Amino acid sequence: MAEADRPGGAGGLNAALRRAARWLELRSFGLTPEHFTLSEGLRAAFAVAVPLLLVLLTGQHQFGWSVYAAFWLCLCDVAGPDGLRRRLLLIFVLVGTVIAFAGAWAASFGWAAAMIAGTLLVFLAIALPYRLAHSAMLATLLAVVAVVAVGYPEPVDKAAILAFAFFAGSLWAYLLIVVFWRIDPLLPLKQDTVALYARLADMAFDLAATGNEPHRDARWHPEHAAHRRSVRIAIERLRLLLARYDGPAEASVAPTRRLLKAGEATFNALIALEHGFITGHGAADERIAVAKLLRNTLIAAQMTVAGVPDMQVLLARRLKRLGRARATIDDPMLAGILEAVRLSLLPLTGQGQARPLSTLSPPPLPGFSVALRQGIRQAACVLFVYSIARLFGLGYPYWAAMATVVVLQGNARITWTRSIERVLGSLTGGFVALALLELIDARAILVPIAVLLTGWTIALRTVNYTVFVVTLTMLFIFVTELLTPGAGIASARILDNTLGSLAAVLAVLLLWPERGPGLPALIDKGLASNGAYLEAVRQNVEPESLEETRRAAGLASIAAEVALHDLGGLTRRWYRLDQRHSEALRSLRLLAGEAASAWHKRLGGGDLSRDG
């Protein structure tokens, strides 16, 4: 079997998905197939199946909230060390119980009280946890509990039963996650590390496939520098995740931090090689030979990181081959590229000396003014949705409010893409669920379908948001049909989700809009950052400072390129992108390539002062 077609290699379905991911990432849509987690899906399916079966078998439908609570708690289980996860989940159990009671009881006093209570509870859920690290998902789900609880108005005694059901279901899922069915807390790190090395292998694979043909990025095009952008996004995703594992958990992630360090150095070498292909540097046969060597080495490295048996031995052989090839390469830049990759990946084989690790600082917590602004924005949007729902007599207004809460993010770009994905997912999931409900009437069939959908929803939750919403929509329609049978549920969810998503877009555009710098300003910043990177290489600054400069240049380039596609390409049309802008965007990447080439030329024994 060809190496590129092996499981985990650079070919096949996974590679096709990553190609799609590169196209989507430029438009702020996420697709990370490596995040599919079957073990979490199976655990969530069991967590929901137990209360669902108990409610249906006993006929005690007033305890149906235990099903919702178990699912929401599984959704609240974010990636991170055990201590962080336990703390956030326990807060959800306790605070969520209070919110469920307060929302249901307050709503029993009439529609005006329901609107006030829902708006106030959403504000508190979003604004209060602002000093709690990594609490974004917790805050969002507590706001979801608030808007759904308001949709179930109950007198005080029945509201207490509803809150008890929430407490019992969430506590059951909490115990299942932290005691009875534990999953390795380092698994998300492995997934993101595999994703990084898969994208490095893809970049080398496409360089080798270029051969003697002109490189696609020799001229600017809308998907320019797709591989560089994809790898940089994978690096930043892994860096952000690693920053969560501070304190007592820091020692356990040292191997992953070394893999990140090796991946960043390898990425720099691939940038230099890509620049050589773009500019026609050196002899074509040497460039192609180096690209093929790196392709084979990085496929072996990817499978080593993924834990494929015997791949460490294969990687060691491939690295020895890099060392032998280096002695036969005349071009100093290409020789430096081979040496850099060999030294970077050698620790993956258990040999060589690991490079010292720098500190990864977690992102700063938002200030009070930011949290207050986001809380007011969410609350105002929920109030608007409630008003529209009452005006037009929508049957399930809390679904529209729920869509608003999960879609409305801190800036227009994310909210826009989330809204599109939410609407598409709701339409697809709603129509599929509606068709299935027409065909299936037996509860004995709906129950296993709901349990299966629970597992798929949790397993896919960070793979792609649209797919997640498809399964989530179907799941809630089926569970609602099982617990509170009624007509029109699927179509109502489609309509309400669309309303909530559109309201979120309006809110983020009208209430304290955070659009950021314009496209010309981002291009100027990118040119300055990449110019500073090239100058740092020429000045032979310290490696750690050079890495930070290189990272800043890469992020600035991505910001400018992604801004072209903001709001479905409106940015590009607003600024009337012309030849001057496209050449500037191309120059961003050329400067980075020139800097990487200069650094590797020095490593390979060349004279940096003569590098153009």
Cβ–Cβ < 8 Å for 561, 26: yes
Instruction: Tell how far CA 211 is from the center of its chain.
Output: 33
What's the pLDDT score for residue 1? 33
Q: Identify which has the larger pLDDT, 315 or 492.
A: 315
**% residues pLDDT > 70 (the chain):** 85
Q: pLDDT tens digit string along 132-184?
A: 888 889 999 999 999 999 988 999 999 999 999 999 999 999 999 999 999 99
Please report which confidence band the pLDDT of residue 107 belongs to, taking 50, 70 and 90 as the band edges: very high
Containing domain of residue 95, as a range? 32-184+366-510
Tell me, yes or no, whether 272 lies in a domain: no
What's the pLDDT score for residue 235? 92
Structure tokens at 358: 């720098």
Residue 569's CB: how many other CB atoms inside 10 A? 13
Q: What distances in angstroms separate CA 206 from CA 4, 10, 114, 213, 226, one per listed residue?
A: 11, 9, 57, 12, 11
Residues near 302 by Cβ (< 8 Å), separated by ≥ 6?
8, 9, 10, 194, 197, 198, 200, 201
The mean per-residue pLDDT over the stretch 436-446 comes to: 80
Crossing angle, helix 489-510 and helix 465-483, to 10 degrees? 140
> Which of 217-221, 294-298, 385-389 ranks highest by mean pLDDT?
294-298
> Which of 190-199, 208-217, 592-601 ranks highest by mean pLDDT?
190-199
**CA-wise closest residue to 185 among 259, 279, 80, 275:** 80
Residue 119's CB: how many other CB atoms inside 10 A? 24
Number of independent structural domains in the chain = 2
Tell me, yes or no, whether 474 lies in a domain: yes
Mean pLDDT of the chain: 83
Please report which confidence band the pLDDT of residue 349 belongs to, taking 50, 70 and 90 as the band edges: confident
What's the pLDDT score for residue 493? 64
Domain-ending residue, one of 452, 477, 510: 510
Are residue 451 and residue 543 in the same domain, yes or no? Answer: no
| pLDDT of residue 608 exceeding 50 | no
What's the pLDDT score for residue 610? 37
> Which of 92-96, 127-131, 210-214, 402-406 ranks highest by mean pLDDT?
92-96
Domain-ending residue, one of 477, 510, 543: 510
- Rounded CA-CA distance 295/288 in Å is 10
| pLDDT of residue 558 exceeding 90 | no
What's the pLDDT score for residue 2? 38
Tell me, yes or no, whether 320 lies in a domain: no
Please report which confidence band the pLDDT of residue 96 belongs to, taking 50, 70 and 90 as the band edges: very high
What's the pLDDT score for residue 612? 34
Q: pLDDT tens digit string along 80-94?
A: 899 999 999 999 999
| pLDDT of residue 576 exceeding 50 | yes
Are residue 532 and residue 492 in the same domain, yes or no? Answer: no
Are residue 572 and residue 592 in the same domain, yes or no? Answer: yes
Please report which confidence band the pLDDT of residue 451 belongs to, taking 50, 70 and 90 as the band edges: very high
Cβ–Cβ < 8 Å for 136, 393: no
> Which of 26-40, 424-438, 455-469, 531-545 ranks highest by mean pLDDT?
455-469
Tell me, yes or no, whether 2 lies in a domain: no
Q: Identify which has the larger pLDDT, 121 or 248.
A: 121
Question: What SS3 state is found at 460?
Answer: coil
Alpha helices in 128-218 (DSSP H): 136-150, 156-175, 187-210
Are residue 138 and residue 55 in the same domain, yes or no? Answer: yes
Are residue 464 and residue 580 in the same domain, yes or no? Answer: no
Alpha helices in 280-396 (DSSP H): 284-305, 311-328, 332-345, 368-392
**CA-wise closest residue to 477 among 515, 440, 521, 522:** 440
What's the pLDDT score for residue 584? 76
Q: Which residue has the tokens 């620049």?
A: 275
- Rounded CA-CA distance 10/322 in Å is 19
Are residue 429 and residue 502 in the same domain, yes or no? Answer: yes
Question: What SS3 state is found at 79?
Answer: coil
Q: pLDDT tens digit string along 479-490?
A: 888 887 654 465
What's the pLDDT score for residue 267? 93
Domain-ending residue, one of 510, 532, 556: 510
What's the pLDDT score for residue 518? 72
What's the pLDDT score for residue 3? 39
Are residue 148 and residue 81 in the same domain, yes or no? Answer: yes
Residue 257's CB: how many other CB atoms inside 10 A? 21
The mean per-residue pLDDT over the stretch 307-311 comes to: 89
Q: Identify which has the larger pLDDT, 29 or 110.
A: 110
Instruction: Tell how far CA 359 is from the center of its chain.
Output: 23
| pLDDT of residue 411 exceeding 70 | no
Tell me, yes or no, whether 323 lies in a domain: no
What's the pLDDT score for residue 430? 80
What's the pLDDT score for residue 7? 37
Tell me, yes or no, whether 71 lies in a domain: yes
Are residue 397 and residue 491 in the same domain, yes or no? Answer: yes
Are residue 485 and residue 554 in the same domain, yes or no? Answer: no
Are residue 494 and residue 558 in the same domain, yes or no? Answer: no
The mean per-residue pLDDT over the stretch 556-585 comes to: 64
Are residue 558 and residue 465 in the same domain, yes or no? Answer: no
Tell me, yes or no, whether 18 lies in a domain: no
Are residue 89 and residue 68 in the same domain, yes or no? Answer: yes
What's the pLDDT score for residue 362? 64
Q: Identify which has the larger pLDDT, 468 or 220.
A: 468
- Rounded CA-CA distance 352/138 in Å is 42
Q: Identify which has the larger pLDDT, 201 or 607.
A: 201
Tell me, yes or no, whether 353 lies in a domain: no
The mean per-residue pLDDT over the stretch 7-15 comes to: 59
Q: pLDDT tens digit string along 494-535?
A: 677 677 677 766 766 666 666 667 777 888 888 888 888 888
What's the pLDDT score for residue 102? 96
